[in-house]
Structure 1
Amino acid sequence: MGFWESFWDIIWWFLFAFIFISYLFALFAVVSDLFRDHKLNGWWKAVWMIFLIFVPFLTVLVYLIARGTGMAKRNAAAAESARSASEAYIQQVAGSSPSEEIAKAKALLDAGTISADEYNTIKTKALS
């Protein structure tokens, strides 16, 4: 009887594949969290990495138990930082409101930097 001939062999294979892939996700999350944590000393990072190399499964479990709360806080802080940077970029690229554009153009007109025709062009463009 071959490996793929038994239904339960297939089920066990998928179960072990799922567990292994889940372990790899946890391992990569731990390694990325180690390098993201700026409060942890470099020597402690090296100790964690050595244990991850020689006793990987147990080290991942211990790390998740011992530092899981901080790991979640660092992930939330990174997500918030990325969100605020994205919002700032969008706000910068989007420009200002039409009323602000008209006010800036009016200030330039009053200063004599632009002519009345240029002011009307800017005003028309801002309102459209």
Structure 2
Amino acid sequence: MGSVNLAYDYPLLGAFWTVMWIFLWVMWIFLLFRVVVDIFRDDSMGGWAKTGWLVFTIVLPFLGVFVYLIARGKDMGAREQAHVRAQLEETNRYVRETVGATGPASEADQLAKLSEIRARGDISDEEFRRAKEKVLH
């Protein structure tokens, strides 16, 4: 049996082409998923239009994706930004509801709380007067 020289059987340029084809294949899969997600995310299309584009991209994936990018690709970024903005607004709304009002209390609110504390007898009239002056100045 003869020895096999692996470096000769698979030169550096061959390794480069293999890495390039793997990279292009991964990018193609990523682009295909982005197009499919955009088809479902687009509210301006009806159900039949979405079905048509989806069938087109599944049956003829290369042609379907390229035609979709040419015909509707200009607005893909805007739809993605709108989706991210809606998610951010929903998160902010949830945080505001969960945490509650975090802003500083108004002078009227602070005076009302001081009056309640004085009515319960937790502070004296002199302490109430000093706290009231602090709030109003």
TM range (shorter): 0.7 to 0.9
Q: CA RMSD in A?
A: 3.2
State the percentage of identical aligned residues: 31
Question: Is 2:102 aligned against 1:96?
Answer: yes
- How many residue pairs get aligned? The number is 118
Would the aligned equivalents of 1:52 and 1:60 in 2 still touch at CA under 8 Å?
A: yes
Point out where structure 1 has 5 or more consecutive residues left out of the alignment: 124-128
* Cα distance between partner residues in 1 of 2:120 and 2:53: 68
Point out where structure 2 has 5 or more consecutive residues left out of the alignment: 132-137
Would the aligned equivalents of 1:33 and 1:71 in 2 still touch at CA under 8 Å?
A: yes
CA shift digits 1:64-122 (9 cap, x unpaired): 1111122111111112222333334444427423x31775454355578x83639x9xx
Provide TM-score, normalisation by structure 1. 0.72
- The structure with more helix, counted as a fraction of residues: 1
* Cα distance between partner residues in 1 of 2:49 and 2:121: 67
Number of the residue aligned with 1:32: 37
Deviating beyond 2 angstroms after TM superposition, the runs of 4 or more aligned structure 1 residues are: 1-5, 82-95, 101-112, 114-118
One-letter amino acid of the structure 1 residue matched with residue 39 of structure 2: L
One-letter amino acid of the structure 1 residue matched with residue 122 of structure 2: D
One-letter amino acid of the structure 2 residue matched with residue 56 of structure 1: P
Q: Which protein is bigger by CA-based radius of gyration? A: 2
